[in-house]
Chains A and B, each alone.
Chain A
Amino acid sequence: MPRDTIVLLGVNHKTTPLEIREKMALSGGYEEPLQALGAIRGLKEYYLLSTCNRVEVIYTTASPEETRRDVLEFLFGRAVPAADLERYVYHFEDEEAVEHLFMVASSLDSMIVGEAQILGQLKEAYRYASGQKTSGLILNKLLHKSFFVAKRVRTETRIGASAVSISYAAVELARKIFGRLDDKSVMLIGAGEMAELAAEHLVGQGVAGVVVANRTLERAVKLARRFNGRAVSLDEVVEQLEQVDIIISSTGATGTILSKKDVRPVMRERRNSPLFFIDIAVPRDLDQDINDLDNVYLYDIDDLQNVVEMNKSERDREAVKAERIVHEETLKFGSWLDNMEVTPTIVELRRQGEEICRVEIEKTLARLSDLSPKQQRSIEKMASAIVSRMLHNPMQYLKDGNGNSKCVNRQERINTVRELFRLDNGNSDRSGNDA
């Protein structure tokens, strides 16, 4: 009676292009797909995770080969022709599946390594699975363990501490300058894609207002609407400096559009509250001398790139540590699983022993009727002591197979013990064995 296999099937940003991921993402929540998965024969426990960067399903089954086809067909069949599935979908079993899940939970498999969002998404996905009771003993343990691993990685390494994309670096710098961002506002000069991305991050971090200044007002209005902000023309930029705190500039202009002497008088109007300029245009939009003003900080694309590089090297060092933790925890989980495998046998063995003990004691005590209660207890004690000492060595043999049985694999050891004690035939009716 071998243990069920843990199977993980999925696609992520590394294996699959965005067009295909888009088609796979489950937009309608988890309830329906989980129910549909339940209809597939052979799945015992299952759980489903869907984020914008990945779709993964984990399940336990006694017949991995057959179920795999059905699950693939169900999850990805609509989006991908069967021939391409092998190319996009990764497939892990047991230890590898566990390790992969731990990597995902600790954000080591994320597009932006170290970002914290994934853990929340994982927990939500698990909440649905446990709510619908599709996860059982093994998956519950596995997912709780993955949360634990993620927490360990977060506290023991500094993997989440550094910003490794330009827009993240900009947000991090803004935090170091302003502390709180929720009472600050940002102005985009030029409505390029990079500026949009950076603004998106800033808004995600709670920036209060967005102003968009662009050459063509139409585009400005469109972008402003997206962020619930307002649009202004390029001529109003200097005036706007009095009200905004972070400026992201990305126009296609050939010359500079703001110089030190434009900014200096603004600082007086602002009562010196800090200004943070981010110039991601090439060629640059902003005069470098602006950085010399007190309480004004100017970063261009190269400066930000340096921050990113610095953080990347730190993150890579931390990732090594984090992977060590994941590996360690995978091994621990593996040994828990292995013990799971022998547990039913141990339970049956013990039950058989107790049964024999009980029957023999009854027989004996029926004949020795003139014993005092104390003597009766002594006999009971002796009988159960004999049984447990007899069973001690077989149990040890099952559990860790130390000594000379080390080379015998676990399944064989289980078979040996079951055969020796006739666990699978003689008294199967009583032990509820399903083999």
Chain B
Amino acid sequence: MSYLLFQVSLVVYFIAMSVYVVFFVSQNNRLRPIARRVFLAAAVLHTLNIAARYFEAGHTPITSQHETVSFFAWAIAWGYLSFRWRYTVKNFGTFASILTVILMCIAALASREMLPLVPALQSWWLPFHASVSIVADGFLALACIGGIMYLLQEREIKQKRFGIFYSRLPSLEALDKLNHHCLTVGFPLLTLGIISGSVWAKQAWGAYWHWDPKETWSLITWFLYAALVHLRFTVGWRGRPAAIMTIIAFAAVLFTLWGVNYLLGGIHTYAT
């Protein structure tokens, strides 16, 4: 049941992405509301998929690779929709839907087996720590998309060579604001995720901090974002450097999420 929902939502995401891409190329305004509705439908189906999997597995489905990546895509989709609800950023949906589809494809390729929980994970902290961390990652991913869009637009304006992006992307100000909004939501959630993880570690492993590779890397990520947020608020750091920093910091997020598991191991690695 949950797998069927997963497949359906993947297909619907894909349709939404296609419509968004056609909208991006043709700039036919009639397509935009269609794309948005399809995307919303996909996100709803995806939510049902995660709920169904919760009941089938009997625990929060954020433990295996498949589940984590799928939840990550879910967080991006709803993060995007929550912004869309508040204000419009032209063509943001195109980029957000592409990233969502890529992540859904990765999730589809990973093993969907439902493994019983190892004792260390059998805690109420699991849903809290994991979901908060990944929702934070979702917002940081959106900040990264905003950063990429900013750089694309900035390059064309700065070099005075106008290609496909100039007319299609929103103003630099709007993109910078998007970056700012995503960070102000993502960073506190990231902080909360790390703190909750630390409290849970005390319960499960007896100490708040283990210098396990995943913990180390999430701390590095946290410092990157902390520096970015700090510079933004104190000296008004913005624009290109801020956009580049957002992208680098998000690379650190991805490494924390995946790279650590494959390259460095450590006690945080439960299932791959």
Name A residues whose Cβ lies closer than 8 Å to a Cβ of B. 155, 158, 161, 173, 175-180, 268, 270-274, 291, 294-295, 297, 299, 303, 306-307, 310
Contact = CB atoms under 8 A, between A and B. Distances in A.
Contacts of B173: 177-180, 274
Interface string B158-200: 1010100011001111100100000000000000000000000
B171 A295 contact: no
7 nearest A-B residue pairs (beta carbon) = A271-B236, A179-B171, A179-B173, A295-B239, A272-B236, A179-B174, A303-B160
B238 A177 contact: no
Given A178-B173, A180-B173, A272 B239 contact: yes
B238 A307 contact: no
Contacts of B177: 179
B241 interface: yes
A95 B241 CA distance: 59
Interface residues of B, number: 22
A271 B157 contact: no
A295 B157 contact: no
| Residue picked from A179, A299, A306, most chain B C-beta under 10 Å | A179
Contact of A297 (B29, B158, B167, B174): B158
Contacts of B153: 176
21 contacts: A158-B27, A175-B171, A176-B171, A176-B172, A177-B172, A177-B173, A178-B173, A179-B170, A271-B236, A272-B235, A272-B236, A272-B237, A273-B236, A274-B239, A294-B239, A294-B240, A295-B238, A297-B158, A303-B160, A307-B162, A310-B162
A294 B239 CA distance: 7
A272 B243 CA distance: 14
A179 B171 CA distance: 5
Interface string B230-272: 0000011111110000000000000000000000000000000
| Residue picked from B170, B236, B241, most chain A C-beta under 10 Å | B236
Contact of B171 (A178, A270, A294, A297): A178
A99 B258 CA distance: 64
Interface in B90-123: none
A181 to B, nearest CB: 10
Contacts of B170: 179
Contact of A294 (B27, B160, B167, B241): B241
Nearest to A271: B236
Given A179-B177, A294-B241, 6 more contacts: A161-B167, A176-B172, A272-B238, A272-B239, A295-B240, A303-B160
A297 B157 contact: yes
Given A299-B160, A306-B160, A177 B237 contact: no
Nearest to B236: A271
A268 B167 CA distance: 30
Given A272-B237, A294-B241, A295-B238, A176 B29 contact: no
A177 B240 contact: no
A306 B166 CA distance: 14
Nearest to A273: B236
Nearest to A184: B173
Contacts of A175: 171
A190 to B, nearest CB: 23
Contacts of A270: 236
A273 B238 contact: yes
Nearest to B171: A179
| Residue picked from B27, B171, B240, most chain A C-beta under 10 Å | B171
A274 B172 contact: yes
A176 B238 contact: no
B80 to A, nearest CB: 20
A176 B167 CA distance: 9
Contacts of B238: 272-273, 295
Interface string B200-224: 0000000000000000000000000
A158 B29 CA distance: 11
Nearest to A299: B160
A306 B173 CA distance: 23
Interface string B16-31: 0000000000010100
Nearest to B162: A310
A345 to B, nearest CB: 42
A9 B215 CA distance: 80
A259 to B, nearest CB: 18
A268 B173 CA distance: 18
Contacts of B157: 173, 176-177, 297
B91 to A, nearest CB: 13
B180 to A, nearest CB: 12
A300 B29 CA distance: 33
B171 A155 contact: no
A54 B240 CA distance: 47
A177 B160 CA distance: 13
Contacts of B240: 294-295
A155 B29 contact: yes
Given A158-B27, A297-B157, A297-B158, A176 B239 contact: no
Contacts of B237: 272
A174 to B, nearest CB: 9
Contacts of A161: 167
A291 B157 CA distance: 10
A291 B158 contact: yes
A177 to B, nearest CB: 5
Contact of A176 (B166, B235, B241): B166
A310 B162 CA distance: 9
A307 B240 CA distance: 23
B199 to A, nearest CB: 37
Contacts of B235: 268, 271-272
Contacts of A297: 157-158
B79 to A, nearest CB: 22
Contacts of B162: 307, 310
